[in-house]
Amino acid sequence: MLNEYDMSYLKIKHNPSQNLQSTTTSSKQNIETNYTNLIPIGSGAFGSVYKATCEENGEIVAIKKVYQDSRYINRELSILLELNHINTIKLKNYYYTNKKNSDNEKCLNVVMDYFPENLSHFIRNHSLKSHNPISIIDLKIFSYQMFHALNYLNSIGICHRDIKPQNILINEKKKLIQICDFGSAKKLKKGESNISYICSRYYRAPELIFNAIEYTNSIDIWSVCCVLCEMILGKPFFPGENSIDQLIEIIKILGTPNRNDIKNMNFNYKYYKFPLVKCFPLKFVFKEFLNVLGNDFIDLLQKIFVYDPNKRIKPIQALCHNFFDDLRKEGVVEEQFRDLIFTFSKEEIDNDKDNIIINYLIPEWFQQKI
């Protein structure tokens, strides 16, 4: 089941000349930009993000500007060109400009959909702890979409490696979630080493803290589960001040990892001396909300918050979890938002060898209405 994202993406992918027409004014090209009214809305080590207006149609867009080293291919751009899913950011265009005060160095400008806020802003105002809490059904709709995005990324072999509230865009009115900022993303290959110092600390899976260089997409589902907990508590679930403290925060909840856990996180890790700490049951952590979240919520967390990455459930299993059963009941999700729950990409369906999507995730009552 595909939607408007598919055709618009194909136009971008197969019409590279479109990008050349969007270059900003420079002394060499002297071509007028199609984007005006640039307003800074974010910055960091990666570069800057601007809100802008497309002159051709008046559309408001976001433009991410990063330095482009001519010696390397921009991995984020290559990934964005491949993405085509309702829950991942949509690449609209890209173009190059000269770096400020330099005619030889270039900046890559990536044009994407503009969202009014990210999940970090939303959580501050609408966590279950706030004065204006998110409804339980909306909590499920938003968190379901995060797992849905991971299922799609898994199907095309991409690991995001920096899932956090700041990298999840939200349109509350449309009830739409999209994962953005693929600057740390990578296609992981078995047997290929990767850097372990990746992912923002509060959302870093324990194998990364154990310096694993061969890890899987399971680090992303750990991060999403941390975000889900933050949507409830209004603060990071594992708020470590450094890597060691981060591990201590995890141990406080999960207890001390055993030897097998550590080997499965990083086979080459040689240090096993940790204080013996018993796990602190998750149902006590969330006891204030159990009457509205239910035991299924605790069960979902228990299937993700495990040390051994091989034992964490896959994103498609998270989508099937009982915690999200309400979303599959007729009449629970408003009609205008059902596509957010029941739209799956061709890649997801092709990767679903057990036909879970057709047989379970898209309920029969919805298929009959298509």
As a whole number of angstroms, the distance between CA 83 and CA 347 comes to 11
Torsion of CA 341, 346, 348, 353, to 10 degrees: 120
CA pair distance 323, 147, nearest whole angstrom: 12
Reported as type and span, the H/E element at residue 368 is helix 364-369
For residue 162, indicate whether it is catalytic. Answer: yes
The helix/strand/coil state of 37 is: strand
Say which amino acid occupies 100. K
Residue 228 CB-density burial (10 A; 0-12 exposed, 13-18 middle, 19+ buried): buried
CB count in 10 Å sphere of residue 29:
13
User: In this structure, which amino acid lies at residue 33?
Assistant: T
Give the pairing of strands 47-54 and 35-44.
antiparallel
Q: Which of 162, 181, 220, 261 is catalytic?
A: 162
Output the CA–CA distances (angstroms, integers) from residue 11 to 185, 306, 318, in the order listed: 24, 42, 33
Residue 168 CA to residue 177 CA, distance in Å, equals 7
- The phi and psi torsions of 158 (rounded to 5 degrees) equal -105, 135
**CA–CA distance, 269 with 275 (Å, rounded to integer):** 17
Q: Is-contact 327 144, C-beta < 8 A?
A: yes
Q: Catalogue the active-site residues.
A: 162
